[in-house]
Every structure is written in C-alpha cells, then in structure tokens.
Structure 1
Amino acid sequence: MSEDLRAAAQDAVASSRAATDPDYPVVHLAAPVGRLNDPNGLLVDSGTYHAFYQFSPFHPHRKLVYWGHASSDDLLHWQQHEPAIIPDSFYDRSGAYSGGALVLDGDEPAQAPDSAAYQLFYTGNLKDPVTDARTASQCLVTSPDLEHFTKWPANPLLPAHPEGYTPHFRDPQVWRDPDAPGSFRMLVGAQREDLTGTALLYRSTDLLHWQLEGELTFPDADGAFDHFGYMWECPGLVRLTDELTGHVRDVLIWCPQGITPDAEGYENIFPCVYTVGRLEGTELRECDGTFAEVDRGFEFYAPQVFARRPSQPGPAIMVGWAGNAAEDDQPSIETGGWVHAFTAPRVLTLRGGRLLQRPAVELPHDAPALGIVGEWLDSATRIAELDGKRSWHMRLETAQAQERWGVRIGDDADYITVELVPDADATRLVVDRSHSRYTQHGQVRTVTLLSGTVPRLEILHDRSITEVFVGDGDIAFTLRSFVSPQASGAVVFAASPFRLASGCAIAYD
C-alpha cells in the first residue's frame, strides 16, 4: 500500500509546536512545521493574496518537498491551508520543486487547461535511487478556486531538459507576452553542458504545448553574462516604468550560483541579483551588463512577484525567502520544530535604472509620532511606544546627516544593532548580529550608500526576522535576528547627542 503523503503532511502540521515558539513571526509567513524555502506561485485575485512555497513538513528527518499554501487579505496575517501540490507522481516523487503562477482572465486562452482560472507551473524532480541521476521536468497544476488542485493528466509538459543542457533545469515562470497578444512565454533556469548558467525561453498559445525559442541573451552587455556562475535559479522578469525617464523596462531578477564579482557585497553562499533592459524576442537589449544585489542582507533568496489578472492591475509586489541554501541550523529547529520565513511583501519601483523596494504595507497615516522626535537624545534612548512589543514597524529620520546613529533591538545579552555611519567618503549601513543567538552565517555586514541617500531607517522587526530599508528603499537588508525571547522594543543610540527629524511606529503584537 502506497503512503498517503497528503495525510502525513497534515499530521505533521497538526502536531506542530511552531505556533508556541516565542521566535515564531507574527506578520511574516513562516513554516507551519519543518522547513520552508522558495516562494512559489505567488498570485493576487480580488484582493486576496495567495503564497505557495517550498514545504518540507518532515524536515530534518526526511527531505520531501511539497507546495505549501497560505493566503492573506492584508499582507500581514496569513492563513495556512492544506498543501497544494503533493509529490506523489512518477515525475515528481523526489519533490515538487519551484515555479510560478498565471491567473487567467475571461476566456484566455480559449482552450485553457481545464478552463481553470489558476495555472500553477512547477518543476517535477526525480532522482534515481541507485545512481542519484536527476530528471527535471516542467509540470502543470490547475485550480478553479484555489481550494482544489489537479495535476494535468498529460504531465509533464516538458519531460526533460533540451539537448546541450544538464538536468539542472528548473523554476519556470510563465507570463503573457505583452508584445504578442494571445501568446505566453516561459522562462526556465538552466545549466549548459559546459557547466555555466543560463535561462531558456519557451513560447505557447495554449499553455500546454511549448516551443523552445532559445537562451536569453544580452547583445549589449559585452559578454558580461556569458559565463556568469554555474547555474541560474529562480529567474523572473518584471516590467516596470522608470520613474525618472518614463521608459518601460524589463527587470530580470535571478539567483546565479557560483559568481565571484569584484564588488562590495555578494557575501552570501548564493546571491540574488537584477539587471535592467528591454526584452525583444530572446534578447534583453539595452542592458549594458550592469547588475546589483537585490537585497544586501545575510538571508535572502529566490524572490518572486505576485501574478495578477490583466483586469486587476496593481503594483509589482515581491516576496523573497529569508534564507539561503544549507543554512538550516537556526535556533527555531530546536525550540519549535520549524525553520525559515518569507520576507514581508515589498513594492518594486524603478528609478534611474535602480530597483527600489519599500514595504507593501505602509505605516498608517495615523501611526503615533514618536515622543523622542525633536528632542536632544542621549547616547541611548528607549522608544517608549514600542516597549513590551516584539513585532513592530518603525521609521526614523535625522536631519543631521553627519551624525552616527542607529537602533539596538534586544537586551544586554542577545541583541542586534542597525547603524548609519557617515565619514568623509560616504555613509555606510552597518548591521551587527554578533551578539545575537544566530551568528553562524555572518555576524557584521557593511553596505556603502550612494551619495544623496536620505538618512532614513525603516525597520520591520518580527521576533526573529528583521528587515531594514534605507532612504527611499535604496537599500533593502534582510536578516534572521534571534535576539532574546524576553527582549522587546528598541533603543535609539548615537555617538553624540542628536535629534531625530521625524519618526513613527506601530506594533503588531
């Protein structure tokens, strides 16, 4: 008798200790049990956001990846649902790996699979139990209501990698071609036989039959991405209008494994980067080879933008995994039997070719102005409005750009600091978690800010995860911040007395 994998996952969730763990986030989506990693199939429809995710309910005892599922009406409070994709088919029995979603509108296409509004594309992973040889295929799940999910009977859509590439072939993103109505495109991360990374483009008119168009190329990049790492994971394209130029641009966001750039940053085991151009066919034109990290923090990977119906346009909202590969040794495994969380959703904008990120949930207009604003602050001043709170959102700005100042979160034993440090050359963001309960994969990181960045810190802290935004979203920095479970609130500190120009905060617990 075959194992009932759905029931086994539900049993694991039902017996979970996660919700009672003092480190378990309040407003960040986290694993209900076991392990969570990449965002999958993000979509929003009629005001409800659905986040699917790589879910290993039996971690660390057994590695078997499902698609978990949660939903939210406000991007703050997430309701967990039953797993959406179960790895119980001949093509995914080693795991239902990452992919994306498409929300169909009206009767597009006329021959839509199952005539279902929601199309979920994912990678089926199959490993030979003897040789460990991998077969990766691209597969389809449909749903009429996001409660019932059906694997396409003729799966897999793409049974294997094309000639000239290795079985490292995964993470499909599907979208409508805005330049060819009625046509759909798929972008898949891949590895060439010479062990260099790339992405492949496919095209379809019915979402079932896909024709390989070729590699994504960069004709104006002077070869910058020809040998850029050994594998490209989680590639995605988002179209944005540049706020300065008014030009429509395509932003490629992806995770190249194995790059060694000669620049500040890129300190994580695997980075996540973006570049900007204009997609024509298989060419990302007007891309000069410039690239930058999406998030400068210790933990960030595999982000994805929410898919929408064309009849329900809205901002580009992105969520990332606040984690990275082979970094599961976090305190929450022992205390609650869970590991990893998502970032809070972020609104993406493009300004002068640079990607900006701001929390999608803004501080409310009536958020209390901090009582310390305008006063001369001593070397360490507690923010009374946050005292007793372990999940909160705060924004602080100083008019004295040459002052060294920052925020400490935690108590005297276990804490992190977030600090802006100006000198004659530049201002730098310094994040230090060397005194926290989690230091294995980075303790102190320094980020040089571009000239003219507003001396503003926006911090979203949620028990064991902290996100920092500098200026107008010029810098995003994500970290797992396991401070003392008894610690609450925040302290503003400075090298010398100074005054805040503005500040407000709201608590979530």
Structure 2
Amino acid sequence: MTEDLRAAALEAINRSQAAADSDYPVVHLAPPVGRLNDPNGLLVEGGTYHAFYQFSPFHPHRKLVYWGHASSDDLLHWTQHEPAIIPDSYYDRSGAYSGGAVVLDEDEACGLPASSRYQFFYTGNLKDPVTDERTASQCLVTSPDLERFTKWPDNPLLPAHPAGYTAHFRDPQVWRDPDDPGSFRMILGVQREDLTGAALLYRSEDLRSWRLEGELSFPDADGAFDHFGYMWECPGLVRLTDELTGQVRDVLIWCPQGIAPEDEGYENIFPCVYTVGCLEGTELRECDGTFAEVDRGFEFYAPQPFARRPSEPGPVLLVGWAGNASQDDQPSIETGGWVHALTVPRTVALRGGRLLQRPAVPLPADAAALSIVGRRLEGATPIRELDGHGSWHLRLEADPADARWGLRIGDEACCVTIEFLYDDDGAARLVVDRSRSRYTRHGATRTVTLPAGTPPRLEVVHDRSITELFVGDGALVFTLRSFVAPGTTGASVIGESVHPVAGCAVCFD
C-alpha cells in the first residue's frame, strides 16, 4: 500500500505543540512542526505575500522534504496552509528540494492554460536506497489559485545534469529577461567534475522547453571565482539601480560551499555572499572579483527575493533562512518539536556597490518613545517600555563620542549582548556575545569591524529566540538565534548616552 504523504504531514501538524513553545517566534515564519530550511517560491499577489519553504514535518525521526506554505498581508503575521509540494513522485521521492516562482500576467500566457498562472520550479531529489547514488532533476508545479498545486505531467523538465558536472545540480531560480521580452532565464547551482562550484544558465520562451546557454562566467574578475568552493547553492540574480551612481547593476547572491573562513568573515559552516556586475549573455561583466557576505550573523543562508507580476512592481524584498547546516540541535527541537525560522523580509538597495538591507516593515509613526535618555556610567539600564515583552522592534542611536554602547537581551545570567566599541583612532567594532545564552554550539562570540563612517545607529528585530541587527544605514546586517532564558522579556541599554530614534519601539506580543 502506498503511503499517503500528505495525510501523514497533516497528522504531524495537527499533533504539534510547537506554537505553545515559549521560544516560538511571533512575527518570524517558523515551521508548524519539525524542521524548516531554505525559503522557496516567494511571491507577491494582490497585496498578499506567499512564502514557501523547505519543510520536514517528521524531523528528526525521518528526513523527507516537502514545500511548506504560509501567507501574510503585512509581512509580520503568517497563516500556515497545507504543504504545497509533496515528495510522492518517482523523481522527488527523496525530497522536493529548493527552487523559485514566476507569476504570469494576463498577457503572458506563454501558450499555457489559466490553471498555470503560478509557476514553481524545484529540484527533485532521488537517492538509490542501495548505492546512495543521487539523481537531481528540475521539476515544475503549477497553481491556478495558490490553493491547489499540480505537478507538471511531463516532469522532469531537466531530467539530469549536463556533461562535465556532477549530480549536485539544483536550486533553480527563474526570472524574465529584462533585455529580451518574452524570454525567461534560469540559473542553477552546480558542481563541476573537478569538484569546484559554478552556476549554469538556461533559457526558455515557454517555461517548458529549456536550453542550456552555458556556465556563468566573470571575464573581468581575474579568476576570482574559478575555484571558489566545491558547490554553489541557491544562486540568484537581483537587478538594482545604484543609489549613488544611478547605474543599473545585477547583484549575484549565492552560497559557495567550501570557501575557507578568514580571521574575520566567512566563519559560518557555509556562508552566503554577493558580487555586483552587469549580466550580458552568460557573462557577469564589470565584476572585478570583489565579494562580501550578505549577513555577518551566526545563522543565515539561502536568501531569495519575492517574485512579482510585471503589472504589480514594487521594492525588492529578500528573505533568508535564519539557520545553517548542522544546526538542528537547537533547544526548540526538545521543548517544542520544531527548529529554525526565516528572517523577516528585508528591502534591498545598492549604494556605491554595497548591498543595503532594512526591515521591510518600518516602525509606525506612533511607536513608543523610550525613557532611556541620560547618563549610565555602569552596567545596563532596563528599557521600561519593553518590560514584559519578548518580541519587539527597536531603534537606537548613540553619541559619536561614546566609546562603548549597546544592548543586552535577557537577564545577566542568560543573555545576549550587542556592543559597539570605538578605538581612539576611530576604528569601530560590533561584538555580539551569546556565550551566556542557551545556544552557543556554532559560535559564541563574533567581532565585526564596521565600515568607516558607519553611523552609530542600531535597529533590532527581536522575536523570542531570533534576533536581527541592522547597523548604521543597513550596510551591515547580523542574524542570530538568541535563546535566552525561557520566557525572558525586555532589554537593557549599555552606554553613557544612548538615544531613542523618533518612533523607536513597537512590541509584537
């Protein structure tokens, strides 16, 4: 008898007590049960945001990956729906892996029926139970209404990897070619036969028949990415106009597995980086080989932008996985039977070639004004307005002359501290210390040197067990899982002259 995988997942969800866990976030999207990882198929439709994600409802007892599905009208409060993609076909029975979405406009039928208005591309994973040999294929699911999801009858669209590459061939992202109307492009992360990472580009006019264009290359990068890690995961391209130069640029964001950590930087198990250039054919030109991490925190991976229909343009919004490989041992798996979350959506901009990220939902004009102005020569001073709340959004700034300032989340015995330290020569560092929290295995303390001229401003989105830091103008972002004492609320400021920013705090719980 064939197992009903949809019914089994729904049963696991219905039995779940995850939402009752004191660590379960209020405004960050987390799984209803089990494990969440990469965001998938993000899209905006008529003012509603839909997030799909890698979902393992039976974790840790059984590793089988579905696509979970949730929606939101305000990017803060998420409603869970039934899983959208079930790994019940011969080509994905070992898991429906990551991918992206395309939303078709009325005049973009591409010869497709109305039931195909929403297109979801993903990697079907198949492992031989005897040899463990992997087969990866690229597959399609369509939906007429984001409630019903149908696998394309001629799946897989790309049944196997091309010659010269291994079976590590995955994570399709599809977008309209802005330079060739009526044409769509796909980028895939791959591993070459010499065990180095790369990305492949495909093209299609009908979203069904795809032809290989070639490997993404960097003619002006002096070989910087020729042997850059052993596998590239979750590659994606975002087109932005640089706020300083007015030039249109293509930002490549991807996760190169296997690059070596530095004394400061790329310290996560697998990092996520970006580089900037101009995509022409298969070449990312005017890219000099410079790259940087998208997020400097302990937990961040596989970000993806929201897809939009051409008739409903809007800001570029990015969401990442607030997790990483080998981090499934977090306290929540024991206390609530769930693990991991997505970041809050972020608006993305480019300034002088540097990626800027800010929370997509700004603080409201009537946000609370904090009573924290004054001198505090020692210790930390509680923020009265946050007392009793474990989920909040906060903006602070400091006097440039203050040599040490920051924030403490939690009590002194179990806390996370965020401090800015300034040397006599003006050099500035951010130090995030979670060594006294309940989760330190993959990093207890991290120091980040701030770019010169970074304004002494800090924006924090803290949500029970996850914290996101936006420093200065958003050029530095830091995501971490912040498991302080269960049920701990509030925060305290550190420093002599910390000021609230106008409309500076709102609580979510």
TM-score by length of 2: 0.98
Correspondences of 1:193-342 after superposition (within 5 Å): 193-260=193-260, 262=262, 264-342=264-342
1:119 and 1:126 map into 2 onto residues whose CA distance is 22
After superposition, the C-alpha distances for 1:308-333 in whole angstroms (9 at most, x for unaligned) are: 01110000000000000111000001
Tell me if 1:367 matches 2:347.
no
1:331 and 1:28 map into 2 onto residues whose CA distance is 17
1:99 and 1:184 map into 2 onto residues whose CA distance is 15
Q: Which residue of 2 aligns with 1:436?
A: 437
1:35 and 1:353 map into 2 onto residues whose CA distance is 35
Tell me if 1:469 matches 2:466.
no
Greater mean alpha carbon deviation, residues 40-49 or residues 258-267: 258-267
1:486 and 1:55 map into 2 onto residues whose CA distance is 26
Q: Which residue of 2 aligns with 1:5?
A: 5
Structure 2: segments with no counterpart, 5+ residues: none
| Deviation of the 1:115 alpha carbon | 4.8
| Deviation of the 1:110 alpha carbon | 3.0
8 Å Cα contact 2:140-2:156 kept in structure 1: yes
Q: Which residue of 2 aligns with 1:46?
A: 46
Q: Which residue of 2 aligns with 1:500?
A: 499
Q: Which residue of 1 aligns with 2:376?
A: 377
Partner letter of residue 210 of structure 2? W
Q: Which residue of 1 aligns with 2:182?
A: 182
Q: Which residue of 1 aligns with 2:488?
A: 487
| Deviation of the 1:411 alpha carbon | 1.2
| Deviation of the 1:381 alpha carbon | 1.2
Structure 1: segments with no counterpart, 5+ residues: none
Q: Helix, strand or coil: the match of 1:500?
A: strand
8 Å Cα contact 2:402-2:497 kept in structure 1: no
8 Å Cα contact 1:114-1:142 kept in structure 2: no
8 Å Cα contact 2:136-2:167 kept in structure 1: yes
8 Å Cα contact 1:320-1:343 kept in structure 2: yes
After superposition, the C-alpha distances for 1:182-204 in whole angstroms (9 at most, x for unaligned) are: 00000000000000000000000
Q: Which residue of 1 aligns with 2:102?
A: 102
Q: Which residue of 1 aligns with 2:14?
A: 14
8 Å Cα contact 1:403-1:498 kept in structure 2: no
| Deviation of the 1:227 alpha carbon | 0.4
1:227 and 1:113 map into 2 onto residues whose CA distance is 43
8 Å Cα contact 1:405-1:493 kept in structure 2: yes
Q: Which residue of 1 aligns with 2:452?
A: 451
8 Å Cα contact 1:190-1:197 kept in structure 2: yes
After superposition, the C-alpha distances for 1:333-352 in whole angstroms (9 at most, x for unaligned) are: 10000000000100000000
Q: Helix, strand or coil: the match of 1:324?
A: coil
Aligned residue pairs, count: 506
Correspondences of 1:130-169 after superposition (within 5 Å): 130-169=130-169
Q: Helix, strand or coil: the match of 1:13?
A: helix
Q: Which residue of 1 aligns with 2:345?
A: 345
Structure 1 residues 361 and 222: CA distance shift in structure 2, 3 A: same
8 Å Cα contact 2:187-2:202 kept in structure 1: yes
2:461 and 2:276 map into 1 onto residues whose CA distance is 28
1:62 and 1:222 map into 2 onto residues whose CA distance is 45
| Deviation of the 1:107 alpha carbon | 2.8
Greater mean alpha carbon deviation, residues 126-135 or residues 393-402: 393-402
Structure 1 residues 126 and 401: CA distance shift in structure 2, 3 A: farther
C-alpha RMSD of the superposition: 1.1
2:402 and 2:386 map into 1 onto residues whose CA distance is 26
TM-score by length of 1: 0.98
Partner letter of residue 97 of structure 2? Y
| Deviation of the 1:399 alpha carbon | 2.5
| Deviation of the 1:371 alpha carbon | 1.8
1:453 and 1:366 map into 2 onto residues whose CA distance is 27
Q: Helix, strand or coil: the match of 2:326?
A: coil
1:64 and 1:263 map into 2 onto residues whose CA distance is 37
| Deviation of the 1:112 alpha carbon | 2.6
| Deviation of the 1:376 alpha carbon | 2.4
| Deviation of the 1:262 alpha carbon | 4.8
1:355 and 1:499 map into 2 onto residues whose CA distance is 27
Partner letter of residue 6 of structure 2? R
2:107 and 2:244 map into 1 onto residues whose CA distance is 37
| Deviation of the 1:398 alpha carbon | 1.3
| Deviation of the 1:116 alpha carbon | 1.8
Greater mean alpha carbon deviation, residues 153-162 or residues 260-269: 260-269
Structure 1 residues 75 and 501: CA distance shift in structure 2, 3 A: closer
1:18 and 1:501 map into 2 onto residues whose CA distance is 35
| Deviation of the 1:499 alpha carbon | 4.4
Partner letter of residue 234 of structure 2? C
8 Å Cα contact 1:105-1:309 kept in structure 2: yes
2:224 and 2:34 map into 1 onto residues whose CA distance is 39
1:262 and 1:52 map into 2 onto residues whose CA distance is 33
| Deviation of the 1:282 alpha carbon | 0.2
1:499 and 1:129 map into 2 onto residues whose CA distance is 59
1:110 and 1:223 map into 2 onto residues whose CA distance is 38
| Deviation of the 1:438 alpha carbon | 0.4
Correspondences of 1:117-136 after superposition (within 5 Å): 117-136=117-136
| Deviation of the 1:222 alpha carbon | 0.3
Greater mean alpha carbon deviation, residues 123-132 or residues 401-410: 401-410
Structure 1 residues 468 and 401: CA distance shift in structure 2, 3 A: farther
1:306 and 1:42 map into 2 onto residues whose CA distance is 5
Q: Helix, strand or coil: the match of 2:91?
A: coil
After superposition, the C-alpha distances for 1:100-145 in whole angstroms (9 at most, x for unaligned) are: 0000011314313665210000000000000000000000000000
8 Å Cα contact 1:123-1:137 kept in structure 2: yes
1:312 and 1:486 map into 2 onto residues whose CA distance is 41
2:400 and 2:311 map into 1 onto residues whose CA distance is 46
8 Å Cα contact 2:24-2:30 kept in structure 1: yes
Structure 1 residues 12 and 470: CA distance shift in structure 2, 3 A: same
Tell me if 1:88 matches 2:113.
no
8 Å Cα contact 1:5-1:86 kept in structure 2: yes
Tell me if 1:26 matches 2:23.
no
After superposition, the C-alpha distances for 1:27-71 in whole angstroms (9 at most, x for unaligned) are: 000011000000000001111000000000000000000000000
Q: Helix, strand or coil: the match of 2:499?
A: coil
1:464 and 1:306 map into 2 onto residues whose CA distance is 25
8 Å Cα contact 1:113-1:207 kept in structure 2: no
Greater mean alpha carbon deviation, residues 25-34 or residues 409-418: 409-418
- What percent identity do the matched residue pairs reach? 77
8 Å Cα contact 1:113-1:208 kept in structure 2: no
Partner letter of residue 377 of structure 1? R
1:22 and 1:327 map into 2 onto residues whose CA distance is 19
| Deviation of the 1:476 alpha carbon | 0.5
Partner letter of residue 473 of structure 2? D
Q: Helix, strand or coil: the match of 1:395?
A: strand
1:210 and 1:253 map into 2 onto residues whose CA distance is 22
| Deviation of the 1:400 alpha carbon | 2.8
| Deviation of the 1:401 alpha carbon | 4.1
